[in-house]
Structure 1
Amino acid sequence: MASIIQWLLRIASGLVILAVVTVLFVYYLASRSLPNYDKALITPAVTAQVNIVRDNANVPHIFGESDQDVFFALGYAHAQDRLWQMITLRRTAQGRLSEVFGRRTLEVDKLLRRLDLYTLAQQSVSAQDADTTRALRAYANGVNTRIDEINVSSLGRGAPELFLFSQAIAPWQPADSLAVQKLMALQLSGHLEEEVLRARTSLALKDQTRLSDILPDAPGAGVAALPEYADLVHDAPRYAASIPMPDTPLSPFPQRGLAGASNAWAAAATRSASGGTLLANDPHLGLSAPAIWYLARMELSSGGVIGGTIPGIPAILTGRSNALGWGLTSSYLDDQDVFIEKLNPNNPEEYQTPGGYKRFETRKSIIHIKDESPITITLRWTDNGPVLPGTHYNLASITPKGHVASLSWTALSGQDTSTTAAVALMRAQNVKQALAAAEAYVSPSQNLTLADQETIALKLVGAMPRRDARHQSQGRLPAPGWRAENRWQGTFPYVSNPGFVSPVGGIVGNTNNKVVERPFPLHVSFEWGDSQRIQRWQRLMQERQVHTRDSFVETQLDTVSFSARALLPLIGADLWFTGEAAPDGTRERQRQRALTLLAEWNGEMNEHMPEPLLYAAWVRALQDRLIRDDLGPLADEFTRVEPLFIERVFRNVDGASHWCDVAQSAPKESCTDMARLALDDALIWIEERYGTQLESLRWGDAHQATHDHQVLGEVPLLKYFVNIRQSTSGGDNTLQRGRTSGSAPDPFHNVHAAGYRGVYDFADPDSSVFVISTGQSGHFLSRYYDDMAQLWRRGEYIPMSLDTELARAAAVGVTRIKPPQARD
């Protein structure tokens, strides 16, 4: 018996030792891919010595004797820190994820192949100007030099992920950078889904007048009544089961409400306490680890530029020089239209056009799948654009038999010069030059906020589709593609894009709100990102005669919800301080406790307070109760609260209180009844999840920022090392925006927020500040993987200085890249 125990102990000890050795070996291999920032590198790809000085936040400050060498070094720095992210973005744009991840990404690949973004990127290379072409080539050489260095020196394949997914790394090409830019356009585009949802909702509702309730227009002048979708496209199915989008974190197709957002504002010198212009920008994208943003400084022949880059793109996309600052917000320009194409009943390879039937343009495309046989799909294009599958955003549910759906989209251009605009913008010395540079911008459409030493401006940039004034749905619903009046007629000239230069009030800004009211077809959009944040922003801007860098920071970090302040008096109007005293432990007593807390609340979505969770759960339950009986399963598509809808219902705008009555029940329910029932629903959900002590609730426990690794974030045990989770303030409609997931089991997780924040003061440019949501490195063993995450959560920033000596004084490493003939 003793010998058996001894053997068991030996086996157990051996297993422990083996596990320890395995962990140490894996750690050693993974750590080999950690970049060394303090070194010398010899390469013929540069013409003279170029230095990458890493400051104490690991922000690279790049100095070289030529712009090409500087762009080379940016590519090298991007590849040092974010190689896995870059090659994953490239594979996504190419529709080649399944070669690495297998069948789970097959639907994503099919969709990307049909959009053909990579082919369009390849075609767009020749459309760039000479400076941009040189920048793209130099940047690609920098990336490839790092890849070669990894291969020659056995530097752990360059990233820990590449041990698990050991595909070969192809050299970086200029087209790859343009493809990443097009992929960002995809992530920032949401009109396709809105059109399909509007059509599905139109088919589901018996009373078409209620469509403007659940899908309300932004406040302002209204639009002409639209036809029912069933009248536009005959025989459209009245109901079809919802088909989910590809369920993978690698999908670039945004969920509804997550197709881009942002804040940006600027103040003229007359509205600045320091006497210099001010600019603030915080673009919002899906949260991830690492963040999509990467901070960098480049010293170009035109001067230094510093700000946020996206690995793969050789440009500061939001940032400043000593002379100019620029920021981006999603414009919500209606740059997508869905067309229903009628097939020839005698030849399904043809579709109807205004001039008769025409053959589809077709091409075969082979998709390789890991551990499986490849499949071949047929890509089809019409005059209007690519034909999309019925699974994409539930297109099948609105497409009659004998028809297919196609997409017109400004990003589907083989002459896309957006990168040329981005490179030229970095060299601009004032607002006038920046506005001229932005004319080359195509997609995704953005509001460009600018400030130089004297002037502020806001300009919509990007190609604006020219629609016929007779368009049947004005671009709001999928329309018959065979009718000439529905087809695009090119784009408007750049001068037609709305803009504001040096306004009398001395302040410009955008929170994705409606910026202009112009008649169709110069309307810009009928769908806007937010009608709530702008209310709070206006108040904060107007309550001060002059602003400072710190007041702009405070505005970026403001967590007061205008929506909560507006809705609670409406939905609780007949519930506040009513009802008889109820014993502890009863539903009535719990409701009274919740109402008491909310009655004394100022609408601040603070992570440490219980009221934000009570409010958020209440209005979520309320919206579901209001729409569930009218929309049925389609109600599941409305995952986030639309404050304008609830306001219309409780103010009974145009009879909107109709939604409060449950059609299937005999009694006639009032809006007060629905508010009370919804509050009970919310309290039951909260009690099951967080307990019955309402005063002890914390909004931050529910509103966790989910910076998750797109691939390793789902791996047991490993996810605790690669995912970054944080308790956060803010919400769907606060300036410090933390867009909630809207889906079970964690509907209030913060999944979409400001991954970059920057505030620039041109009275003292080097006092400007910025931060990103995670860290510079994509390597989870690096100390720079998450070092900015807590700063970001607490609302802190790091210096955004172009002072060369300051960068060198705090350097954590200097990489010296030299040509072979250079001497020390």
Structure 2
Amino acid sequence: MLTLFRWLLRLTVALIAVLVLAVVLAWYFAVRSLPDYNASYGMSGLKAPVEIVRSTENVPHIFGQSDEDMFFALGVAHAQDRLFQMTMLRRAAQGRLSEVRGAGAFAGDVLVRRLELYRNAQASLDAQDSDTRTALEAYSAGVNQWITEVNESALGRGAPEFFLFPEQIAYWQPADSLAILKLLAAASSNAVPAEILRARLSLAAPQYGPDVLSGEAAPAGLPVYASLFPGAKFGAPAPQDGTEAPRDPSGFLRPALGLGGNGFAAAPDRTAAGGALLANAPHGPLTAPSLYYLARLQLSSGGVIGATIPGIPAILSGRNPHLAWGMTPSAIDDADIFIEEIQPGNSDRYRGRDGWADFASRREVIRILDGEDQVITLRRTENGPLMPALERGLRDIIPQGHVAALGWTGLSREDGTMSALIGLMRAPDTDSAAAALSRVVAPAMTVTLADGDGIRQVSAGLLPGRSAQHPTGGAMPVPGWLATTRWNGEMPASAADPSGRAPAGILIATEEPGAAAMRRGRLTRLLQDREVHSRDSFIAAQTDIVSPAARALLPLVGANLWFTGEPAPAGTIDAQRQDALALLAEWDGQMNEHLPEPLIYAAWMRELQDRLIRDELGPLADDIATLHPGFIDAVFRDRGGAARWCDIAQSAPAEDCTTIARQALDRALLDLTDRFGPQVASWRWGDVHQARHQHPGLGGLPALGWVVNLTQSLSGGSFTISTSGLLGRGRNPYEAATGAGYRGVYDLADPDSSVFITSTGQSGHPLSRHFDDFAALWRRGEYVGMSLDPDLARAAAIGTTRLIPESR
């Protein structure tokens, strides 16, 4: 027995030693991948020495003697801090995530392959001007030189995440940057999900019309969807698994995600200091690290500083000495779903414009980690590629014997958008900027501009040329074989939404209608109520957390519920209802994380909308994850007889809207009591409204995810200017799934007082102190300085990286 004990003791000690050694080795190699910002590197491809001066916030200020070297050094800086993010974005754009993520990423890869993002990016290289091609090649060379340095100096593979993935890091190509820009364009467009939802609503409740959730009492000229396909058979809406909301497998971007943002500006005569002001806040998924990375380049045309996306060598929102700009996804409808009829008895042919035609097809192989390779067949029609898995619910609207094809302006193989972005950085004024932006194809965007003379907005991108006889105007899927549904080429977005100057000295840009329209209304009120603005008033507007939806709905929905009678006995649902209504009656709509009112309001409206639509829409109600205030407003005002939504068809009594409002509030209070106890005043919005910045590589792993994901409570909501969009489904539908990954405010009266912030930090390395050092500032609505003064950058530098030309 003693011998057995000794051997067990020795084995235990040996296992502990092995475990400690493994931890030490893992830590050593992880730390090795942290870049040394005070180092010199010999790199081939440079024309002259370059300095990368890292400011206190780890923002690289790049100084050199040529623009080509500037882009080279930006590639080095991006790769030093965000190499893993860059490779994940590239894989997402190539449709190759399955190679490192396994079968869970397969559906996303199939979708991207069908969109041909990478093939179109490769073809679009020839569409760039010579300066842009030079910039792309120099940027790629810089990324590759850092990869070479990592390999030759054993710098921990460049990022600790790479130890968990079997693939080697492929060298960067100019087409990789164009492909990521294509992925950004695909993620920006929300036209396809909107089309599909309208068609599903029309099939589920044809008596109400496709636009019922917009608050309109009758369809605005849209036909009933089924009437577009006489005699066709549609299946019943398929129930969805609502246990957890799907997240993007790349952690950053996916097609049809629907990005958003705010942009606004004030002309010099509307500012206290006499210089134009501009603010910009693009919205997207909250990740760790943020999608955005701050950088400054000293180009021959002058310094330029602002927000980049690693992998794209351009400042997407920022300023140079004379011009500031901010980009907001445009509300234009840049995509259409075409329903194509398959020839009976021959699945290789479809109904074309001149009769039955063969699909254009090819095959591709998708490699899957720990799984068998999958061969997929990609098919195209005259209208675009077939997209069977394009969007949730698409199969519900495809008649039997038909398939869906996508027409999208971003499918262009002559896309000069990158040239437009490079040209914008060099533009000295708004006129030059507008000229540069004329080359944008996708993403369609509204660009707000400011210079010394004033402010201007430009609609950039291409818009489908639809016939005046188009049956839906692009609002719903249409038969692909009809001449009236075919595109007549493409036209600039500015033709449909002409750009121009600000008539009242104020310009505002938001993305899609709905929540953005309410944010726009709140922004307009804040900006027009002041005759003169300052940088601080713009910051206050950008971080505003008042919900115009709450202010509009609560007096209407609760009109007949406000407490006027005897107090209810303590501990009853009636007493809770009275307490909740008393709080809401005094609330000003501030979605403050420390208050109970935002939580009560959000839970009430969520339950109310579900009760209104559940019996009419059936399983489709599971996919209505966002609040539609216009619909609730129309119902409670009985606009066009919309109050009939309050009557539950399955029940014998005729319910009125007051009854439904009370029942919804009681149900919401019961749910919240189960989670947080009976004391209404002790509940907090921030207990459920938390931002989970998920790491794209390690965030899904139980142990490592706890370390690398960032979670923090957050003020705001889907309808506040400081947007934090709700997840809408799953175990916590109130989770903040989206937000402003970047905020910037540019003051041209004193340009170096401009400020910016991202949602996490500059570094993508979980062990870096710059991985999350912006997160608390971002949460509190604070900023860091944004100066082009080289002396300021050097005075507070945490390190200077020197790149020295070397021939190899």
Whether TM exceeds 0.5 here: the answer is yes
Residue 208 (structure 1) shift: 3.1
Partner of 1:445: 444
1:617-766 correspondence to structure 2 within 5 Å: 617-766=603-752
Residue 98 (structure 1) shift: 1.1
Say which SS state the counterpart of residue 695 (structure 1) adopts.
helix
Question: 2 CA distance for matches of 1:528 and 1:286?
Answer: 19
Partner of 2:468: 469
Partner of 1:519: none
1:225 to 191, 209, 221: 221
Question: 2 CA distance for matches of 1:337 and 1:158?
Answer: 42
Indicate if the aligned counterparts of 2:580 and 2:600 stay in contact, CA closer than 8 A: yes
Matched, 1:72 2:72: yes
Alpha-carbon displacement from aligned partner over 1:89-132 (angstroms, at most 9, x marks no partner): 11111111111111111111111111111000000001100000
Residue 438 (structure 1) shift: 0.3
Partner of 1:435: 434
Partner of 1:197: 197
1:228-627 correspondence to structure 2 within 5 Å: 228-234=224-230, 235-242=232-239, 247-250=246-249, 259-390=258-389, 392-493=391-492, 495-512=494-511, 530-627=516-613
Alpha-carbon displacement from aligned partner over 1:457-477 (angstroms, at most 9, x marks no partner): 111110011100100111111
Matched to 1:438, the amino acid is: L
Say which SS state the counterpart of residue 532 (structure 1) adopts.
helix
Q: Could you tell me the TM-score, scaled by structure 1's length? A: 0.95
Say which SS state the counterpart of residue 703 (structure 2) adopts.
coil
Say which SS state the counterpart of residue 530 (structure 2) adopts.
coil
Partner of 2:28: 28
Indicate if the aligned counterparts of 1:293 and 1:756 stay in contact, CA closer than 8 A: yes
Matched to 1:397, the amino acid is: D
Question: 1 CA distance for matches of 2:694 and 2:717?
Answer: 19
Q: From the superposition, tell whether residues 794 and 619 of structure 1 become closer, same or farther in structure 2 (CA, over 3 Å).
A: same
Stretches of structure 1 lacking an aligned partner (at least 5 in a row): 514-526
Say which SS state the counterpart of residue 735 (structure 1) adopts.
coil
Matched to 1:809, the amino acid is: A
Q: From the superposition, tell whether residues 380 and 529 of structure 1 become closer, same or farther in structure 2 (CA, over 3 Å).
A: farther
Partner of 1:58: 58
Question: 2 CA distance for matches of 1:128 and 1:610?
Answer: 53
Residue 744 (structure 1) shift: 2.0
Q: From the superposition, tell whether residues 735 and 694 of structure 1 become closer, same or farther in structure 2 (CA, over 3 Å).
A: same
Partner of 1:121: 121
Say which SS state the counterpart of residue 699 (structure 2) adopts.
helix
Q: From the superposition, tell whether residues 601 and 529 of structure 1 become closer, same or farther in structure 2 (CA, over 3 Å).
A: closer
Residue 20 (structure 1) shift: 2.5
Matched to 1:797, the amino acid is: Y
Residue 394 (structure 1) shift: 2.4
Question: 1 CA distance for matches of 2:117 and 2:81?
Answer: 26
Q: From the superposition, tell whether residues 705 and 714 of structure 1 become closer, same or farther in structure 2 (CA, over 3 Å).
A: same
Question: 1 CA distance for matches of 2:189 and 2:241?
Answer: 18
1:819 to 802, 805, 808: 805
Q: From the superposition, tell whether residues 495 and 649 of structure 1 become closer, same or farther in structure 2 (CA, over 3 Å).
A: closer
Question: 2 CA distance for matches of 1:627 and 1:348?
Answer: 38
Indicate if the aligned counterparts of 2:459 and 2:493 stay in contact, CA closer than 8 A: no
Question: 2 CA distance for matches of 1:225 and 1:701?
Answer: 44
Residue 821 (structure 1) shift: 7.7
Indicate if the aligned counterparts of 1:553 and 1:759 stay in contact, CA closer than 8 A: yes
Residue 354 (structure 1) shift: 2.2
Partner of 1:181: 181
Question: 2 CA distance for matches of 1:12 and 1:604?
Answer: 57
Stretches of structure 2 lacking an aligned partner (at least 5 in a row): none
Question: 1 CA distance for matches of 2:649 and 2:688?
Answer: 33
Residue 177 (structure 1) shift: 0.2
Q: From the superposition, tell whether residues 547 and 236 of structure 1 become closer, same or farther in structure 2 (CA, over 3 Å).
A: farther
Question: 2 CA distance for matches of 1:243 and 1:96?
Answer: 27
Q: From the superposition, tell whether residues 565 and 392 of structure 1 become closer, same or farther in structure 2 (CA, over 3 Å).
A: closer
Matched to 1:182, the amino acid is: K
Question: 2 CA distance for matches of 1:192 and 1:302?
Answer: 40
Matched to 1:124, the amino acid is: S
Question: 2 CA distance for matches of 1:254 and 1:645?
Answer: 30
Q: From the superposition, tell whether residues 770 and 493 of structure 1 become closer, same or farther in structure 2 (CA, over 3 Å).
A: closer
Residue 493 (structure 1) shift: 4.1
Matched to 1:30, the amino acid is: A
State the aligned residue count: 805
Indicate if the aligned counterparts of 1:187 and 1:253 stay in contact, CA closer than 8 A: no
Say which SS state the counterpart of residue 738 (structure 1) adopts.
coil
Q: From the superposition, tell whether residues 567 and 492 of structure 1 become closer, same or farther in structure 2 (CA, over 3 Å).
A: same
Question: 1 CA distance for matches of 2:605 and 2:389?
Answer: 33
Alpha-carbon displacement from aligned partner over 1:383-409 (angstroms, at most 9, x marks no partner): 111001157422221111221100000
Residue 297 (structure 1) shift: 0.2
Residue 639 (structure 1) shift: 0.7
Question: 1 CA distance for matches of 2:462 and 2:239?
Answer: 32
Residue 9 (structure 1) shift: 5.0
Identity rate, percent:
52
Indicate if the aligned counterparts of 1:261 and 1:529 stay in contact, CA closer than 8 A: no
Say which SS state the counterpart of residue 202 (structure 1) adopts.
helix
Q: From the superposition, tell whether residues 252 and 648 of structure 1 become closer, same or farther in structure 2 (CA, over 3 Å).
A: farther
Matched to 1:228, the amino acid is: V
Say which SS state the counterpart of residue 362 (structure 1) adopts.
strand
Question: 2 CA distance for matches of 1:191 and 1:529?
Answer: 15
Residue 351 (structure 1) shift: 1.3
Indicate if the aligned counterparts of 1:190 and 1:254 stay in contact, CA closer than 8 A: no
Range 149-158 or range 344-353, more displaced: 344-353
Matched to 1:73, the amino acid is: A
Say which SS state the counterpart of residue 530 (structure 1) adopts.
helix
Indicate if the aligned counterparts of 1:186 and 1:253 stay in contact, CA closer than 8 A: no
Cα RMSD of the aligned pairs, angstroms, is 2.0
Partner of 2:99: 99
Indicate if the aligned counterparts of 2:52 and 2:802 stay in contact, CA closer than 8 A: yes
Residue 600 (structure 1) shift: 0.8
Alpha-carbon displacement from aligned partner over 1:559-592 (angstroms, at most 9, x marks no partner): 1111111100011000001443211111111111
